[in-house]
Structure 1
Amino acid sequence: MLMARRGQRQHTRGVRSALLALGWAQALALTVVLQDYTLIAVVAFSPLLVVFAFTGVPGPQDGIGDILYWHRDNLLILFVGGVLWTLATVAYQRRTRGQCTHCGRGGRAAAWTAPESAARWGRAAVLVAVLSSIPYDVTRVAWFLGYPLGITDAFLKDMQDTPGMLGIGLGLAVLSTAGGVLTHGLVARWGEVWPRWVPFKAGRPVALATAIVPALLVAVVLVPGGLQMIRSGNHPFGWGTNYPAMLWVVWGAALGAATLAYYLRRRGTCGHCART
């Protein structure tokens, strides 16, 4: 309520600081701290959720409720609430600084936000993001091929005896590798202009939201998944079960930074404040 209130009377510095602290604490708690790997699972398997629920693949299911049960539903609701807290806090912070609530421009811009600077550190962020995903991909592919990389032979045998287990791991590794390729688009030409082989889009500019929304979503859901693996610590079946996934924290942070750099390079003139 206080954040949304507008008028001539401005909040004191102390009130403003308290509201910002509350807003960012709520946003961080709901989107990261209280979350686990559920968000990654929902994002990765979202195209298959309905198939899993109503066809019995990969196992017997009794409707969508068997997959999106209350624990997962609750985390998704909390995540949406965290996103809303983030948007509200960003808008309040910008408005009370005299900045545009849509683009954040106003006053003297920091040097690191210049397109040339963003291009430099954005390339570094993309490199870190891509490298962070490799250990997870390599271990899961090795398991699928029968090599117990980072795990015990007994654990590999258990997974081989569980229908679909290694296939799911391989599928996640393929999605991760594809994500790494798409991440490169944040600094490549084809991430700004559709390639010639894309039907109906060839040669047209890539809309900002087309790249930014999915990249930010993946970046945000990676971090809590990685934090859960860190909290789990050592695993009795070997380092390959948890350690590669701990790098999801680095991956998510780097992907978020790369997405920000992409936005700073391409945002152009704001349609609301007309600042460039």
Structure 2
Amino acid sequence: MAALWALVYGVLGVAWALGMPGFPWGASDPDPDGALSILAATTPRSGWWIAAFALLTAATALALTRPAGSRLPLFPAWPIAAILVLVIPDSRLMMGVAYTPLLLVAPLFGWGLGGATFADAWPWPVLNQLLCVLGGLLLAAAALACGHDHARWFTPERGRKAVYVAAGVPLVYCLTRWAWALGIPLGVDREFLAAGEDGLWLAGAYLATFGALGGVLTLGLTQRWGEIFPRWLPGLRGKRVPPLLAVIPAGFVSIIVTVAGLTYLRATVAGRFALAEWGAWLPECFWPVWGAALATATIAYHLRRRGSTPAP
């Protein structure tokens, strides 16, 4: 599947290089000043490089189908997967995921959201990022299947520590956004705060609450209620929680928060932020730590659930 994805995407790269519209970066990307995407300076002619990268990805994926015993294909597999999953996407991927539930319920309450639509949250360049993440995950899954014992790296004890980190890191971001919604200029000045009084900080508080709720759910990766549905859930009480019900969303969130954090780190290194407004960017710079901890906790949970008994 990873090889098939790479071949199809390679064909797209060749088509863009030959003039087909739809190149998802550069001038056709709605990112106004190129501050988000690491590929903002590319042109459709870069499609040839995309095709070459896709060919390397396909060859690596096919090499992973060889009989066990050779680790050589694993060396390019992991860097390629990391590029597709963590480097090519940017923070808009997280924003699209976070705002989708809000866009679904906004019409029920008459919220205008400034006229924002699903097309604004998911333009083609951002949908393309999802495609790149899919390709990276397929290659990573193939590499994991061909790898050796991962349990010694993701022990229950490391998973438990990672859960506490993953639940705690987003709280710094949450505190700033809740404070702004209440009119408290935490980490910013009054002028900055006034710029969002038209409802922008309410949206920020929504995202903060979303993150805090995610932190609470993260605790379930080491708690009994993360493996056995609690008693207060009618129809489900006492039944085992399907592992993928936790692994899939937690794994995806670990990706998008890491990507968003790396975007903020790149912007910070480029000097795009003012120190006096640290509340607007510093909490996000710790999101790669959040994402790494959540990924560690998720993998440890997955390995523990494979033929294991529920946590006490």
Q: TM-score range by the shorter chain?
A: 0.7 to 0.9
String of CA shifts for 1:70-129, please: whole Å, max 9, x gaps. 2212212222222222223333x33xxxxxxxxx66xxx86455xxxx222221111111
User: Secondary structure in 2 aligned to 1:197?
Assistant: coil
TM-score, normalised to structure 2's length? 0.71
Is 1:183 aligned to 2:218, yes or no?
yes
Counterpart among 92, 97, 102 of residue 48 in structure 1: 102
Match of 2:286 in 1: 247
Is 1:124 aligned to 2:156, yes or no?
no
Match of 1:71 in 2: 125
Match of 2:298 in 1: 259
Is 1:4 aligned to 2:62, yes or no?
yes
Match of 2:115 in 1: 60
CA displacement at 1:185 relative to structure 2: 0.6
Is 1:230 aligned to 2:256, yes or no?
no
Match of 2:184 in 1: 147
Residue identity in the other structure for 2:133: F
Q: What residue ranges of structure 1 are gaps of 5+ in the alignment? A: 95-103, 270-276
> Once structures 1 and 2 are overlaid, which stretch shifts more, 44-53 or 168-177?
44-53
Q: What residue ranges of structure 2 are gaps of 5+ in the alignment? A: 1-57
String of CA shifts for 1:226-251, please: whole Å, max 9, x gaps. 01111111522611111001111000
Give, in whole Å, the separation in 2 of the partners of 1:121 and 1:248.
Answer: 19
Give, in whole Å, the separation in 1 of the partners of 2:267 and 2:208.
Answer: 21
How has the CA–CA distance of structure 1 residues 202 and 51 changed in structure 2, closer, same or farther, with 3 Å as cutoff?
Answer: closer
Alignment of 1:107-122 (within 5 A): 111-112=152-153, 118-122=155-159
Give, in whole Å, the separation in 1 of the partners of 2:172 and 2:305.
Answer: 32
Give, in whole Å, the separation in 2 of the partners of 1:197 and 1:224.
Answer: 36
User: Secondary structure in 2 aligned to 1:124?
Assistant: helix
CA displacement at 1:48 relative to structure 2: 3.4
CA displacement at 1:148 relative to structure 2: 0.6
Give, in whole Å, the separation in 2 of the partners of 1:196 and 1:165.
Answer: 38
Give, in whole Å, the separation in 2 of the partners of 1:5 and 1:180.
Answer: 39
CA displacement at 1:4 relative to structure 2: 3.3
Match of 1:201 in 2: 236
| % identical aligned pairs | 38
Match of 2:193 in 1: 156
Tell me if the contact between 2:151 and 2:303 (Cα under 8 Å) persists in the aligned partners: no
CA displacement at 1:130 relative to structure 2: 1.4
How has the CA–CA distance of structure 1 residues 268 and 232 changed in structure 2, closer, same or farther, with 3 Å as cutoff?
Answer: same
Residue identity in the other structure for 1:142: A
How has the CA–CA distance of structure 1 residues 70 and 201 changed in structure 2, closer, same or farther, with 3 Å as cutoff?
Answer: same
How has the CA–CA distance of structure 1 residues 184 and 25 changed in structure 2, closer, same or farther, with 3 Å as cutoff?
Answer: same
String of CA shifts for 1:34-83, please: whole Å, max 9, x gaps. 1111221122122234566998831225x643432222122122222222
CA displacement at 1:12 relative to structure 2: 9.2
How has the CA–CA distance of structure 1 residues 36 and 6 changed in structure 2, closer, same or farther, with 3 Å as cutoff?
Answer: closer
Match of 1:37 in 2: 91
Tell me if the contact between 1:194 and 1:205 (Cα under 8 Å) persists in the aligned partners: yes
User: Secondary structure in 2 aligned to 1:4?
Assistant: helix
Tell me if the contact between 2:251 and 2:294 (Cα under 8 Å) persists in the aligned partners: yes
Tell me if the contact between 1:36 and 1:228 (Cα under 8 Å) persists in the aligned partners: yes
User: Secondary structure in 2 aligned to 1:257?
Assistant: helix
Give, in whole Å, the separation in 2 of the partners of 1:50 and 1:110.
Answer: 40
TM-score, normalised to structure 1's length? 0.79
Kindly indicate whether structure 1 or structure 2 has the higher relative contact order, using CA contacts under 8 Å at least 6 residues apart.
1
Match of 2:26 in 1: none
CA-based RMSD of the aligned residues comes to: 2.7
Residue identity in the other structure for 1:218: V
